[in-house]
Amino acid sequence: MPVLKYRKPAVVASAAAIALSFCSPQAFAGYGHDGSTNGSKADSSASAGAGNGKISSGVSAGVVIDTSKNGSGTSAGAVTPTTSWTPPACYYAPKYTAKEIEAQMRQVWGSSAPSPEWSLKTRNYFVNGKPYKNFNKDKADEGYWWDAYTTEGREADPAAQDCDELPFWVDEGGAPPADRPQAITSEMLAQLAYAEIRVPSTNVELAPQNTTKVNLPTWAWLDTAAFKPVSVTASVPVLGLSATTTAEPVSLKITPGTEDAVTYPASGECEIRDGQIGEPYAKGKADETPPCGVKYLRSSGGGSYKLQATTTWKISWTSTTGQGGDLPNGTFGADQDVVVQEIQVVNR
């Protein structure tokens, strides 16, 4: 498998990769919000790059998402959590070296935009020992400046405003300040990876296919070759921290598209057994009850019924810290047309 080439931030820093908006005076009330989507999605202009199913953050000290083991295909889609749970809207992670943050702040201070009060406050903070001196350049090789990231798609979420602190320094191997609960952890990486999970389309195999008869049991099953576990890994390379989130199919829910139908089993929930969901129809099974399927009791007339097949995926995570566990199950479904005809009897 191709390996993502990754460089330390001091080597790859560029004007295109570094978001200047984090230090604008207009953003100071919510200081730390860079307005970018550098967390779970990336600026592909960064030297870390994007390709081979791997996406890197716009600043190389940020989060890297590896989707090379994700579900693929034009019909693949994101799972919907079965609870109201959502990944974090914002978080703090390493973003700048001492040299990078100094360059940005001096550029802003040299412009006409900042107010005197804002300039004084930030000069005191970064330079004059309240609490940092000279951007911590005397410790340039011993840590990173951490700043806020906003998860893609959550920019308008009020929760994204929770990460409104000034950038802060964390020594290499050290812990972020205790009063920064949004500081990145292995579990938060797992949650960010969850948001990037993509699973195959739930297009079930049917027998008879597409067109069936009234009162004839229709067998349903999934192609087990396509429905295997998928995973996404989120990491912070400069911390040596990563988490892998895995989605594994566990059941298939059949909704016939009409009340005039019977499902097998009665609940319509087909569980995975012996590594497969449902059972392919084989010659000689016409008189058997399918372990997963549907029987329509009324013709669809000149149209069709919208059979909905929804797969439930069990979501779990592991990490380089040894931590791991379960996250809320996710579902993903699709509709397909089923034509139901009356059985024609010819009297001679």
| The pair of three-digit structure tokens given for residue 237, joined into one six-digit string | 């390379």
Is 60 in contact with 47 (CB distance < 8 Å)?
Answer: yes
Distance CA 230, CA 324 (A): 17
Is 162 in contact with 89 (CB distance < 8 Å)?
Answer: yes
pLDDT of residue 346: 45
| DSSP 8-class letter at 158 | G
CB burial readout 66-96, b (16+ within 10 A) else e: bbeebbeeeebbebebeeeeebbbbbbbbbb
Kind and range of the H or E run holding 103 = helix 98-109
pLDDT of residue 61: 55
Q: First CA to last CA across the chain, in angstroms?
A: 67
Residue 210: phi, psi to the nearest 5?
70, -45
One digit per residue, the tens of pLDDT, for the chain of length 348 reads: 332 322 222 222 222 223 334 443 333 333 333 333 333 333 222 222 334 444 333 345 589 999 999 988 778 899 999 999 999 999 999 999 999 999 989 999 988 777 899 999 999 999 999 999 999 999 999 999 999 999 988 999 999 999 999 999 999 999 999 999 999 999 999 999 999 999 988 788 999 988 999 999 999 998 776 778 999 999 999 999 999 999 999 999 999 999 999 999 999 999 888 778 899 999 888 889 999 999 999 999 989 999 999 999 999 999 999 999 999 999 999 899 999 999 765 444
Is 145 in contact with 168 (CB distance < 8 Å)?
Answer: yes
Distance CA 265, CA 204 (A): 16
Question: Which of these, 160, 154, 151, 122, lies nearest to 28 by C-alpha position?
Answer: 122
pLDDT of residue 29: 33
> What are residue 253's DSSP bridge partners?
269, 310
Per-position DSSP letters for 122-156, written without gaps between them: HHHHHTBSSS-BGGGGGGTTSEEEEEEEE-TT-TT
